[in-house]
Structure 1
Amino acid sequence: MLEFDIQDKLILVSCDSHEMGYLSRYLNRFRLVFIVEGNGTAILGEESYRYEKDSFFLIPPRHDLDCISPTKTRMLVIIFGLFRSSNNKSDEPVTSFLNLYQHIQQIFLAKNIIQGMRISDDTDRDSVARLVPLLRNELLHPQGYSKEIAINVVFILVNILTRNIDNASGGPVSEYDPETNRALNYIKDLIQQNSRFTLRDIAKGLNMSDYNLNKLIIKGTGRTLKSLIARYQVELFAES
């Protein structure tokens, strides 16, 4: 594990998933995790998310990210300085630490975050794929201007994420496979009918076991069945 502290305002860490426990001293900070290598399932709070190379996660204070994978998962973690609340909404590009804090506040508190997402825009995705290894290289081989280079790269990454999260907010999370869509549509119908049902009722209606239903939903959407039901209920309430 490599760690690079920039005036306690930014801390860069290159590590494997099993080393994340060593970062518990930063549990009260916001963290941005880029998956550099590997794929599997990540647990954040009570939610499960699929991840692959180039996926990223936004971890709020007092939360941990656990990765479950049969292979090594390597990641770059950006840890932001102690969070400073601000009532000023900044729509300007990130150019200073104060501006950076304001953008992080917007991303974590005001955006429809799709955890484990990959950058949707091809050009931006290519840019991130080049910038993250650049940061890791500065950790591996620090030299003159390494801190300045790292700061500027983080600013660019946050700007790219802000733009892509803005574009993704409010839109569909993803297109699911037919079997997953069949299960989701069945669940939505039950909720719209205001039916009282259990998870076992859903599985029985779909001619599946409880285990296979949960496995299908987590694999197909990256979310737990309970969280999806809660989300659909909130959406239905908002529309009524």
Structure 2
Amino acid sequence: MTNTNLYLPFEVDFKELEQFPKTIRKNNFFELIYIVDGTGIQIINDNKFQYRKGNLFLVTPQDVHSFEILTPTKFFFLRFNEYYIKANSQNAESEMILRMEYILQNASHRPGCILKNKIDKPLIASLIENIISEQNNQQIYHQKIIEQFVNTIITIVARNIALKLPKNIKETTGEMVLEILHYIQENIYNPKQLKAEKVSKHFNISLNYLGKYFKKQTGETLQEYIANYKLRLIEARLLNSDMRINEIADELNYSDESHLNKVFRKHKGMNPSEFRKKYTK
């Protein structure tokens, strides 16, 4: 296995390959890989996915990945680390923090294209085409323009990861459930706003319809989704911050550290401290 490093806040690269390097790679950064053209197989964490033109993949520092190229493939690579995201959060704090959390909390995601929102596909294609053009022409301010494009791409990725969280969300999923998911994510630190009565009132739908509709669209009940979403946030903090367990419990409105420990152990089979020790070695 080859470990690769990133020495700049972000890097962009464009390659046309007939054969992908044989070594299995593990990065110390996040990598977005866009298929400009070509076909083949993405291999990530021993899972396989057939790729084609227009697919966008997110590879995280926890992922082991490679590609099998079936027809000559044009790859676009965008590599960035969490420090790049944190640096940008000074200018747009709340939005960028959410963006970082979306990426980090889904550190162990399934293989496949992350673009679940149809309208984002041509937008991503256009942004990447413009980055390649700026990179090739090297006109004045090209680096600053590329950085703006990169920020937009990361924002779109965050949106698509957010839409992907429930296991049964598809491209045909109704707009209302996507709005409900966004509402939940915005109010995850305010449990009073997440009561079913509040949600149904906010969207002007009956309580009974809300429950049936949400379960049909996502495969989870409203409360199951909220609980699982909070678990992902806990995992992100355990793996990517120095926050104490009681601080995480307070932030996510658990009654105390003991309550968080009980909930976490029920779902993960170990308490948060054991989880942190096991996966941050």
Q: Is the 8 A contact 1:114 1:173 kept in 2?
A: no
Q: Residue 165 of structure 1: SS of its match in structure 2? A: helix
* Aligned counterparts of 1:85 and 1:139: Cα–Cα separation in 2: 20
Matches within 5 A, 1:20-35: 21=21, 27-35=27-35
Distance 1:173 1:42, change over 3 A: farther
Partner amino acid for 2:159?
Answer: R
TM-score relative to the length of structure 2: 0.48
* Aligned counterparts of 1:97 and 1:74: Cα–Cα separation in 2: 35
Partner amino acid for 1:159?
Answer: T
Shift of 1:109: 2.6
Shift of 1:115: 3.1
Note if 1:46 corresponds to 2:42: no
Residue 165 of structure 1 is aligned with which of 155, 161, 166?
Answer: 161
Matched residue, 2:116 = 120
Q: Deviations 1:181-226 (Å, cap 9, x if unpaired)? A: xxxxxxxxxxxxxxxxxxxxxxxxxxxxxxxxxxxxxxxxxxxxxx
Matched residue, 1:70 = 70
Note if 1:139 corresponds to 2:135: yes
Distance 1:12 1:22, change over 3 A: farther
Partner amino acid for 2:41?
Answer: T
Structure with more relative contact order (C-alpha pairs < 8 Å, separation 6 or more)? 1
Partner amino acid for 2:142?
Answer: S
* Aligned counterparts of 2:93 and 2:25: Cα–Cα separation in 1: 22
* Aligned counterparts of 1:137 and 1:165: Cα–Cα separation in 2: 27
Distance 1:130 1:114, change over 3 A: farther
Gaps of 5+ in 1: 1-6, 176-236
Shift of 1:61: 2.1
Matches within 5 A, 1:177-216: none
Shift of 1:24: 9.5
Q: Residue 39 of structure 1: SS of its match in structure 2? A: strand
Shift of 1:156: 0.9
* Aligned counterparts of 1:74 and 1:80: Cα–Cα separation in 2: 20
* Aligned counterparts of 1:137 and 1:85: Cα–Cα separation in 2: 23
Count residues with an aligned counterpart.
Answer: 167
* Aligned counterparts of 2:168 and 2:160: Cα–Cα separation in 1: 13
Matched residue, 1:11 = 11
Q: Residue 72 of structure 1: SS of its match in structure 2? A: strand
Q: Is the 8 A contact 1:113 1:169 kept in 2?
A: no
Percent same amino acid among aligned pairs? 19
Q: Residue 122 of structure 1: SS of its match in structure 2? A: coil
* Aligned counterparts of 1:24 and 1:165: Cα–Cα separation in 2: 25
* Aligned counterparts of 2:130 and 2:84: Cα–Cα separation in 1: 30
* Aligned counterparts of 1:51 and 1:15: Cα–Cα separation in 2: 16
* Aligned counterparts of 1:97 and 1:32: Cα–Cα separation in 2: 22
Note if 1:149 corresponds to 2:145: yes
Q: Is the 8 A contact 1:40 1:68 kept in 2?
A: yes
Q: Deviations 1:35-64 (Å, cap 9, x if unpaired)? A: 111112111121111211111111122645
TM-score relative to the length of structure 1: 0.56
* Aligned counterparts of 1:148 and 1:64: Cα–Cα separation in 2: 31
Gaps of 5+ in 2: 1-6, 172-265, 268-281
* Aligned counterparts of 1:94 and 1:125: Cα–Cα separation in 2: 28
* Aligned counterparts of 1:12 and 1:51: Cα–Cα separation in 2: 20
Q: Which of 61-70 and 30-39 deviates more? A: 61-70
Partner amino acid for 2:12?
Answer: L
Q: Is the 8 A contact 2:26 2:64 kept in 1?
A: no
